[in-house]
Every structure is written in C-alpha cells, then in structure tokens.
Amino acid sequence: MNAKVRKIIPQILTLAVVALIFGFFTINAQTNMENRGIEFGYGFLSQESSFDVQFSLIEYDGSHSYARAYLVGLLNTLLVAFIGIIISTILGVVIGIARLSPNYLIERSATFYVEFFRNIPLLLQIFFWYFAALRALPLPQDADAIMGVFFLTIKGLFVPRFVWENLDIFLYSILAAIISMIVIKNYARKLQENEGKQIPLLYISLGLFIILPLLTFLVGGVSLSFEIPVIKQLSTTSFVYEGGLGIPPELIALTLALALYTATFIAECVRAGIQGISKGQKEAAASIGLTPNQVLKLVIMPQALRIIIPPTTNQYLNLTKNSSLAAAIAYPDLVLVFAGTALMQTGRAIEIVSITMFTYLSISLSISVLMNWYNKRIAITEK
C-alpha cells in the first residue's frame, strides 16, 4: 500500500506542475492575443506573401502564398544540408583515415585540421568565409575564367548549365542500370553460396552503369549541351552574367563552413570506428587466407560501419540543424524566409515559430527512427 502511494504521488505532482505551466501559458497567450486583436489560426498560409526571395529552387515571387514561401525555405535548407553532407562525408572519411596514417606528417596535419576547425564557433567560420574570404574575390568584370568556363566572382560562382534533351529517358536508363546491378549481385551471391563460383561483379556492374546510359545517347535521342555563362555589360559600372548557373556567395560560404566544421566530427567518428576493431580480427581474417581487399570488405568494414554510422548520422542531423545559421548571412533558408520575413510581415509569432520548430523536429525524429531501425538490424545477435 505504502509503496503504491509512493509511486503515484510523484507522478500526480509532476503532471499537476506540467499542466499548471501549460495552462498558465495558454491563458496568457489567449489574453495577449485578444488584446492585440490577433486570432490564432493557420489560415494566413494561403494568403499572398508579397515578398521576394533571392534564391529559390522552385518558381516563386511575391504573388505566391506563404505556404509556398515556406516550401522555398525548406527546399533551400535541404539543399544546403544535402551538399554539406556529401562534402563533409568525403572530407571526414579522408581526414579520419589520415589520422590513423603511419606517416607522421600526414597524421599531424590531419590532427591539426581537426583541432583547428573544431574549436572555432561555426557562426564565426561562416562570417569569415562570407564577409572576409569571399569578399576578397574579384568583381564580375575582372574575373578570370577558370578552365575557360567557371567564373568565381564576388557575386558568386557561375558554372555552365546542363541543357538536356529527353532527360527522362536518361534517368530511366540509370534506374534500369541500378536495378539490373542489384539483380546480378543477388545472382552472384547465390552462385557463390551454392556452387562456389565467383564472377567479376565489379566490372560487370561498372560496365552496366556506363554502357546503359551511354546507349541512350546513341539510340534514345538524349543529348547534352552546355550553356556557358557570358558576361554582359548593363551600364558603365554594372556587369552581370547571362546564361549558365549562378551559385550565390551565401550558399558557397554556408556550405563550405558547414562542411569543413562537420568534417572534423565525422573524422573523429571514422577514426573511433576503425580503432574500435581489434587487431585480432584482421589477423584472423588474414590467417584463413583472405586477400587484404577481402579482409577490408568482408571483415573490417562491416564491423567498423556498425560503430561509425550511428554517430555520423547524428552529425548529419547536427549539420541540418546548423544550416539554420544561414539567417546570419541572409541565405534564404527556412529560418530566414519563414521565421524571419514571413513572421515580420504577419506578426503571427506562435504559429510560425511552432511550424518552423515542428519542421526541424520531424526531420530529426524521422532520422532517429530510421537510425534505431538500422541499429536493430545490424546489431550483433549474441547467442
């Protein structure tokens, strides 16, 4: 009896406190909104936004709704996160392996990189790239072409744009190549398990991946040409690039800073993962006659990845959340477009901040759920 009461009382107390706090906030919010004449609701999302966004992946201008502005911001955030994750993964893996290099100089340089970039606030790095480093670039009219087609100027990086014809056929061919690669891989595994035969899987897949898309160029009517940016004079002092693809300096600075910063953490994950595998594993694998490549592929990597992937996913999440620092240099991400401009215009603080937080929360939670599922799948089943 006594024990039961002791279990129930703290729970009731906590619930009461939480309910009180929430109730207090709700009542205050209601009176505050009544006093200011605001009505709570998400109806404003379909209203015309009447503000412009500098950089957008989808068609957008002031006549579109707030909901579309939200989508623009979200896509821009995801774009930065996507590019940042790719660059930081490549860099992180290279640096992480370099930190374990037997070469003293390489190991030291990798350590220097990690210690240097990890200990400086990300915001400061973003500011440095945007306000100090990229501002030192030449004006559009003074810029020299890199390899004849790239132009790196203070207004951003201008690269050739791909002009596709029948792009869908090309994409289908890539899809077909991937599917046939999976089929062949399964077949090869079965063949090895049942008959002990091996087929040159790598060459077959590579061949498929190159030949199938290539065929579409020859037979499928797919063609690819480049539209090279050309400088054009508007007036005596103002020049712009026409054609090609312009990457704004905000995007460059943000992605660069995020990638360099996150790479240090990924490098540490990779290092810990590789170090976490005992030497005995490698020796045992070698002693049963596996080649060094097979040792890496069949014994080391499956175990190392089990240690590396969970913390690395965490870093990807951090990178996505850190991309919200874009607001500091006016890159139009979710926070700047929606929690900044849209909030200023509508004054609907509660609705907009809650939508923004909910968006980030759902990205984080869905990745967490995926991660838990993955962890369960790869966990070593002990006897």
Partner 1 sequence: MNPDKNNLNNYIYVGTSLFALAILDVFLSSFFQINITSFLPSFLSFIFPLIVGLLGLHLIRIEFSGIKKLDLINKNINTNTFNALLTLVIIFIIIKSIPPIMSWFIVDANISGDTKEACTGSGACWTYIKIWMRRFVYGMYPNELQWRINISFILLVALAFVGYIPSEKFKKFLTLYYVVIYPIIAFILIYYLISGGAFGLEWVETGAWGGLSLTFIVSFFCLIFCFPVGMFLALGRRSQLPTLKYISIGFIEFWRGVPLITVLFMSSVMFPMFLPEDFFMDKLVRVIIAISLFEAAYVAEVIRGGLQALPKGQYDAAKSLGMGYWKMHIFVILPQALKLVIPGIANTFLALVKDTPLIFVVGLLEIVGMLNLAKTNPKWLGFAMEGYVFAAIIFWIICYAMSKYSYNLELKYKTER
Maximum C-alpha span of the chain: 90
Beta carbon of residue 257, minimum distance to partner 1 (angstroms, whole number): 12
Beta carbon of residue 41, minimum distance to partner 1 (angstroms, whole number): 15
Beta carbon of residue 198, minimum distance to partner 1 (angstroms, whole number): 29
CA dihedral 235, 239, 241, 242 (to 10 degrees): 0
| Kind of pairing between the strands at 145-146 and 223-227 | unpaired
Beta carbon of residue 303, minimum distance to partner 1 (angstroms, whole number): 21
Q: Which is nearer to partner 1, 63 or 119 (CB)?
A: 119
Q: Which is nearer to partner 1, 30 or 192 (CB)?
A: 30
In whole angstroms, give the CA distance from residue 348 to residue 342: 9
Contact set with partner 1 (CB under 8 A): 7, 10-11, 14-15, 18, 24-25, 28-29, 31-33, 35, 102-106, 109, 115-116, 118-125, 127-128, 131-133, 135-136, 321-322, 324-325, 327-328, 335, 339, 343, 349-350, 353-354, 356-357, 360-361, 363-365, 368
CB-based contacts of 5, cutoff 8 Å, min separation 6: none
Dihedral sign computed on CA atoms, order 233, 237, 243, 244? positive
In whole angstroms, give the CA distance from residue 326 to residue 119: 20
Q: Which is nearer to partner 1, 281 or 324 (CB)?
A: 324
Beta carbon of residue 321, minimum distance to partner 1 (angstroms, whole number): 4
Q: Which is nearer to partner 1, 240 or 353 (CB)?
A: 353
Integer Rg of the chain from CA: 27
- Token pair listed for 191: 């063949």
Q: Which is nearer to partner 1, 132 or 210 (CB)?
A: 132
Q: Which is nearer to partner 1, 103 or 233 (CB)?
A: 103
**Interhelix angle 249-275/104-118, nearest 10 degrees:** 130
Beta carbon of residue 120, minimum distance to partner 1 (angstroms, whole number): 5
